Structure 1
Amino acid sequence: MEEQLPTPQNDKPKVLLVDDEESILNSLRRLLRGQPYDVLLATSGAQALEIMAQQPIDLVMTDARMPNMDGATLLAHVHQRYPDTTRIMLTGYADPSVIIKAINEGQIHRYISKPWHDEDMLLTLRQSLAYQHSERERLRLVQQAWDQNEQLKLLNATLEKHVASRTAELQQTADMLDLAYEELKHSYVTSTEVFSLLANLRLPPPKQTNRQIIELVRVYCQRHHLDEGTGRDLTMAAALYNIGKLSWTDRMMTAPADLLHHNDRERYRGYPKQSESLLMTLEPMKDAARLILHHQERWDGNGFPDRLKGEAIPFGARLLKLAVDFIELQRGLILERQMNSDEALVYIRNYAGRLYDPGMVEDFIQVCAAYLSDVSLADPSVKVLTTRDVAAGMILARNLNADNGMLLLNAGKVLNGALVEKLIAFEAMEGAKYAIFVTVPEDLNGATLEADKVAPALH
């Protein structure tokens, strides 16, 4: 297949008109006089192919009925040899077989009937060439991203050696980028995940979120058998939900949202809109961008940017908020204290009907339990109680930590009255409020209290 070079950006688009009737060609040439195109004429399919072999052509418009080689056959040759050239059929005969052949073999972009309206003809040419230009620009930007990534890897290779753990992390990211770019031309989903990895380089490993959110969303989609399009949009939204944060300072990138001051808080509230704006120019990203725009809306209508309420919030945005908050609560990006997975789910359950769709919360907890091995909240035998609700004989279902991260009691510990009193006193002294995950034996009176050691903080 011959390869046609793209038209240089500073040249006028070249338009080739093909018709065996010179009067038609003359009419079209007069119509296009003064338009920003270089117009070339051909009276046969063979002559048109000769012209295209000598110079790049941006758009071919041909009559359907011509001797020797009809328009559909010509456009089939053009599609095979010069697939980037825009193809338009012009005919005065409503012959379905000709139209079907042009569509199937020539893969035409538009079909225009004779006689034509001059304004419609000019509009069709403008729109076709504008679409062609935007597609070439997209491909140029993809190539530019590839080139910049290669330059970035070259620069990294020349930098002084980093700390061993950091070097290993960057190498792993570079390897993942290499693999992802192999499939870039086949999948926008893959490209969005690549960009999310680049964004993660702005954050230390304990604060990175995108990969975990992507995987959690995928598990949800698989468990609920969501259609491929919805799953693709959710995955791309999960990968790029925080791309609007890349212009922030390092301090603001890692600070808990709850502790941001007034100016920073206003900037924080603008990041969903900023993320959406960066992605809306990409046609396949429009639906994902809409989910990103609304993923900080709240069920009670007090979210941002548009204060949508209830089911007015797109389903995908409601799911994305659950996944983002679940992971960011564990990273310390929402509250100052980093929660474990169960504590994050208790927080989400407590705010069902205010921040989150109450109809999705319990189902989301079950998905998290299927995805993570350390989630005990989905177990019906596990209860979440306050210190004043626990009783002697109950068994800790998971480790109990103070707000500063210090271990207080190990999972499996059987509580007695003295330990409960110490927990209440310690909680009051720290000004904290603990969520205690316990299992309750069927017969508390018959439970045998173990003599396990209490963590030093409670002695």
Structure 2
Amino acid sequence: MEEQLPTKSTHKPKVLLVDDEEPILNSLRRLLRGQPYEVLLATSGAQALEIMAQQPVDLVMSDARMPNMDGATLLAHIHKLYPDTVRIMLTGYADPSAIIKAINDGQIHRYISKPWHDEEMLLILRQSLAYQHSERERLRLVQETWDQNQELKLLNITLDKRVASRTAELQQTADMLDLAYEELKHSYVTGTEMFSLLANLRMPPAKQTNRQIIELVRVYCKLHGVDEGTSRDLTMAAALYNIGKLSWTDSMMTAPADLLHHNDRERYRNYPKQSESLLMTLDPMKDAARLILHHQERWDGSGFPDRLKGEAIPVGSRLLKLAVDFIELQRGLILERQMNSDEALVYIRSYAGKLYDPEMVEDFIRVCAAYLSDVSLADPTVKVMTTRELAAGMILAHNLNADNGMLLLNAGKVLNGPLVEKLIAFEAMEGAKYSIFVKLPEEGDGAILEAGHVSQALH
């Protein structure tokens, strides 16, 4: 359900749009026509500050690149002079230093890339103003509570009934504050997920990861009874673990990490630290930022950025690495070949004690089996074998693909002796090593069904 702006009064929120390109301002003004806002326009940072000196403004959305005074500097001035005003940066180019400056100095609420999507732009404005209203209401309730406490000190201690009545009122107000604070924390989590979806737009649909990682982390936390605060930190970390990649080129964003060249590999190894730097200034994100910083550490100490080893790696970071690698292996973001879910789990199991916490791996596999319908690794009748362990009568549980992605055999194929020999020969010719998921025949199945069509690559 979309957030609604307050309707208690006829006051219309004032929105100030700042851009040195008038066509951009005209496009934004047309977009906001008919919305419940009073729209103000400025073509420079100096003009924007003059407008704000004359009248209160609820929200400022500024372009990042402007002459004389850039957007980050303007938003930093506004943060210092008018901290209650919501600040949003609008930019048409990826500049990590400008983004970091806007977050650190301007304390921006959102970051929007050009060209924008109209519906997303309108949604962001509604959410930002709704957040501002809830924060003002919280501060009003805090002030009201303080005033009531001062009044309570002045009451005559002999008026027991009056004290009891006032105490009940204060308890009710405290309960309202608790509810308001819990709603704010929930809104922060929702906001991080919304931002992660916007960041995901940099990636083609087949390469997007954040939503699946968020859901997998939530299932793990639920099945293990993780407390609400830790679960919230893990969810925010899953939503924004790759925010440090936003400055990358499109080709680097979609390339498998294993194939990156030297310079790109250095940028890749720096993304957890850059993600943490972007988030550390936001107080509710500090614990999540620490989990993100260390989610590429490895159990044997060969990871990055700090080469932490074993128990020195935060537990949440170990879980986040399992979830990130499980999904990214299936998206082709780690290795060139895209794996299915079972193949990804076999890969993770093979690196237990090297890349991953060995005590968490099997537990993680059980969670995946409970959460995902296409995971058969937990089925006792399904085994993972090499080609030389195969025997006639076994049935393929999954499609078998060569390392180049070519389909060799379909799931459900019944193996016979000649077919197994062809697989062994083809594997040797390709210099590959296949992990083959088979369903063992039930006892009493003496007959071996004739093998059907085999890919031409095996002939």
The TM-score normalised by the length of structure 1 is 0.63
| Residue 344 in structure 1 maps to residue 290 in structure 2 | no
CA contact (8 A) 1:180 1:194 kept: no
Report 1:235-274 matches (<5 A): 235-274=235-274
Alignment check: 8 A CA contact 1:177 1:194 kept? no
Distance 1:205 1:440 in 2: 36
Matching residue of 1:329 = 329
Counterpart residue identity of residue 141, structure 1: R
**2:234 equivalent in structure 1:** 234
Shift of 1:393: 1.4
Q: 1:302 aligns to what? A: 302
Distance 2:269 2:367 in 1: 28
Q: 1:174 to 1:214 in 2, by over 3 A?
A: farther
- The CA distance in 2 between the partners of 1:264 and 1:143, in whole Å, is 27
Unaligned ranges ≥5, structure 1: 6-132, 158-170
Aligned-partner SS, 1:311: helix
Which residues in structure 2 correspond to 1:19-418 (within 5 Å)? 137=83, 140-141=86-87, 149=112, 155-156=116-117, 186=184, 187-418=187-418
Q: What amino acid maps onto 2:272 in structure 1? A: P
Structure 1 residues 216 and 177, CA gap change in structure 2 (3 angstroms): farther
Matches of 1:458 and 1:204, distance apart in 2: 33
What secondary structure is seen at the aligned counterpart in 2 of 1:141? strand
Please list the CA deviations of residues 111-159 of structure 1 after superposition, one character each: whole Å capped at 9, or x if unmatched: xxxxxxxxxxxxxxxxxxxxxx78974863369867865x968x545xx
Quote the offset at 1:267 in angstroms. 1.2
Counterparts of 2:387 and 2:403, CA distance in 1: 14
The code of the aligned residue for 1:250 comes to D
What is the SS of the residue equivalent to 2:354?
coil
Distance 1:368 1:246 in 2: 29
Deviations 1:298-354 (A, max 9, x none): 011111111111111111000000000011111111111111111111100000000
Counterpart AA for 1:198: L
Q: Look at both structures and tell me which one has the larger radius of gyration over its CA atoms.
A: 1
- Given that 2:400 and 2:436 are in contact with CA atoms closer than 8 Å, whether structure 1 keeps it comes out as yes
**Alpha-carbon distance, 1:294 to partner:** 0.3
Q: What is the rounded CA distance, in whole Å, between the counterparts of 1:428 and 1:326 in structure 2?
A: 28
Residues 401, 407 of structure 1: 8 Å contact kept = yes
What's the CA shift for 1:448?
A: 2.7
**Structure 1 position 443, deviation (Å):** 3.7
Q: Number of paired residues?
A: 319
Letter in 1 for 2:306: D
User: Matched residues in 2 for 1:420 and 1:181: separation?
Assistant: 61
Question: Aligned equivalents of 1:416 and 1:448: distance in 2?
Answer: 7
**What's the secondary structure of 2:384's corresponding residue?**
strand
Structure 2, unmatched stretches of 5+, are 1-7, 14-78, 91-107, 135-183
Q: Distance in 1 between matches of 2:446 and 2:247?
A: 61
Contact 1:181 1:191 in 2 (8 A): no
| Structure 2 Cα separation of the partners of residues 416 and 397 of structure 1 | 15
Letter of the 2:366 counterpart: Q
1:433 aligns with 2:379: no
RMSD: 3.3
Pair 381,360 (structure 1): closer, same or farther in 2 beyond 3 Å: same
Q: Which amino acid aligns with 1:249?
A: T
3-state secondary structure, aligned to 2:229: helix
SS across alignment from 2:87: helix
1:215 is aligned with what amino acid?
A: E
